[in-house]
Amino acid sequence: MSLPRNSDPVARRNQWIWFSDNFIVIGMPCLSHPSLPKVRDQRLLQQLRVQYLGSMEGREVRDWVTLKWLVWMLASNIILFVPITIAYQAVAGWTPIGGILNLDVEGRLSALFLNHNYNPFRLLAEWSILFSLAAFIQRYLRHKAIVVWSSTATYILIFSFQCYYAIMMGIYGEPPYIQNEWSLVQEVLPVFLAGNGISFPLVLICTVIILGILFWMCMKAFRMALASGELALSQRSGQIWTCGILFYILVSQLRYHHADIHDLRLNSQWLTPRILDALALDKLDPFDHILARSDVYASWSRDSLVHRPNIYLIFIESYGAVPFLSEYIREPFQERMTIREERMKEQGWTGRSTYSLAPIKGGRSWLSFSSALMGIHIADQITYNQLFDLSFTYPHLVRYLNAHGYTTHRINTMRTDEKIDAMIPYEAVATFHEFDDWVLFPDIPYTGFPFNSMGGIPDQFALEYVWDSRIRGADTPQMVFFITLDSHTPWYPPPLVRSDFRALNDIKTNPYPDSAMEADIMDRYLACVEYEWDFLEQFITHKANKDDLFILIGDHQPPAMEHQIWDQINDYAVPLHVISKGNRVDSLLSILDFAPGLTPPVQDSIHWHHEGVYSLIRYLLEPQNGPPGTTARVFQKGI
């Protein structure tokens, strides 16, 4: 049996061929021949395909089929990298050319294998190999639907992981760790969604529907793609181009086999090592020698404190090195910090600053401040959860201060209700941390305009309310722990600063125009960080006692902005400030790599870690726990 020929020479010259699963149609646009039979024998169908494509008349079709297969191959790869391009949109480009940062170092051939602009024009090695293999073996299978379904399922899984990977790298700046993120999905995500009025079951239902629609669309597309691939791989041109792609992947692997598995610059990337890394169980930071380390902290309970000032340990949300080093905002921010520093000096307040390495880059603030309170490195949810399962009483900072006569306060302005409270193990958290006074959202009598989506209570109102109702006039030393929220992403226009915090209750409507959120994200971020410093400066200079001690520290970089400090400082570096009156604290800090002023200098190496804050606070209280004149040892990286 041979293919019927169209009698019209013009139509015959322009005819293209389209093969479906069980019949052949000649013509484009749809010039089907009425005498063309349906072919249900797959072997005969393949013979007819090869016969036509091997003829002189089939030359145009051969070129078209090969081109079509290459388009499917490249397009399916490009789509897989779109999530990463979106996650890095601030530094990404949508053109295939991105350039190499240093050809002399990378080598001139690197221009073929590396691209620095995070565009999506790349190859995922496993998918390219599997897609080519699926198209090749389909020609030998009677039931081609098996290949289509398996290819679709594989693609959806790969795309889902790429989205997950992009979220973790783009927002948190760290590779994913499935066991840790699963804990976040179970414990944190429902609380976050409920706090924003979003139903968790609804999110799950929408996710399933979206995946179902995506599966259907991919199945339709891959049925056509694999049909094109089957034909292309039966021809020499298609085989050459496909082998060329696979050879490129091989050469790239041989050339960059020592590259970091998370190097997103590579034009040919492997997914399997990243999946295995995300599944690895040895990524946990176990509590090695936790009993021995806790024994050191426990020995501090025998301290005799020379000084017991009020202590304000304040974590400023999303306050990283970006304000000081970003080319977009560093000049105005540093200028204002210099002016602020001079104003505070006029009131007798001096500050010293350095950088400290947070355990995380972005998001999950509780890991950051827990590291400071515990004096140990806590970088993931699994490790954090283990704190509540310890079989002994851990001697953390709050227990240390309680034992030395302090009254300890914890301010949390995140909105809660009965539904949210039921999701949070408050009893276990409260029992472990042992703050004397928990000041939560319902305890703060704020009735003004909600300035953020996390609860809406201005940070100034929360801190000054606690000072006014609990700290002022107290006979015992006080410790206040507070993490701000007004500088939380997405950086809404910040509250106004009032001389009397109670005046904020009179603001019932949004004082900003509706277009305020359309401002540039860097301008919004700068405004929020400036607000935090404005109200803190006012509080320090107008409310604080002369002996009060302020430790102001960032929890992590602003999410998805750490690229602005690349090649300048460690991605985990955040400012650490100590502010006090008089010379005592200033002289103690002068020997601990703290520079004068409120602008921390960039150093070749950063000595402080957040887990060293516990030791720092103890050191500044000048404890006596040994022979007279002995200076307390400082553990800059914790114990």
pLDDT of residue 608: 92
- The token duo for 479 is 């410790």
Q: CA–CA separation, 272 vs 178, rounded Å?
A: 14
**How many Å apart are CA 551 and CA 352, to the nearest integer?**
10
Residue 338 confidence (pLDDT): 94
Question: Rounded CA gap, 416 and 297, in Å?
Answer: 34
- Structural contact between residues 173 and 362, judged by C-beta atoms closer than 8 angstroms: yes
Mean pLDDT of 506-533: 90
Query: Helix 200-232 crosses helix 125-138 at what angle (to 10 degrees)?
Result: 60
User: Model confidence at 350, in pLDDT bands (50, 70, 90)?
Assistant: very high
User: Is 635 within 8 Å of 615 (Cβ atoms)?
Assistant: yes
Sequence ranges of the domains in the chain: 9-53, 59-279, 305-508+516-624
Residue 161 or residue 22, greater confidence: 161
Alpha carbon distance 437, 426 (integer Å) = 13
Residues 551, 557, 562, 564: is their CA dihedral positive or negative?
negative
Task: List the one residue out of 222, 226, 232, 228 whose CA is nearest residue 18.
Answer: 228
pTM for this entry: 0.81
pLDDT at 9: 44
Q: Give 195-235 pLDDT, tens digit per residue.
A: 667 777 888 888 899 989 989 998 888 888 888 888 888 88
CATH topology of domain 305-508+516-624: Alkaline Phosphatase, subunit A (3.40.720)
Q: Are 399 and 436 in contact (CB under 8 A)?
A: no
Amino acid identity at 171: I
| Mean pLDDT taken over the chain | 83
What's CA 116's distance to the chain center, in Å? 20
For residues 604-614, average pLDDT: 91
Q: Report pLDDT for 483.
A: 94
Name the one residue in this structure whose structure tokens are 């309680």: 402
Cα(558)–Cα(553) distance, integer angstroms: 13
pLDDT of 32 strictly over 70: no
Instruction: Give the mean pLDDT of 322-351.
Output: 93
Q: Which of 180-194, 216-230, 419-433, 604-618 has the highest mean pLDDT?
A: 604-618
> To which H or E segment does residue 578 belong?
strand 573-581
Cα-Cα-Cα-Cα dihedral sign, residues 126, 132, 133, 135: positive
pLDDT of residue 355: 95
**For residues 122 and 608, what is the distance between their CA atoms, to the nearest angstrom?**
39
3-state secondary structure (DSSP) of residue 612: helix
Q: Which of 28-42, 100-114, 251-265 has the lowest mean pLDDT?
A: 28-42
Q: What is the pLDDT of residues 480-504, one digit of tens each?
A: 999 999 999 889 999 999 999 999 9
CA nearest neighbour of 324 among 551, 605, 576, 520: 576
Q: What digits encode the pLDDT tens for the residues 449-491?
A: 998 877 889 999 999 999 999 999 898 999 999 999 999 988 9
Nearest-angstrom CA–CA distance, 548 and 95: 55
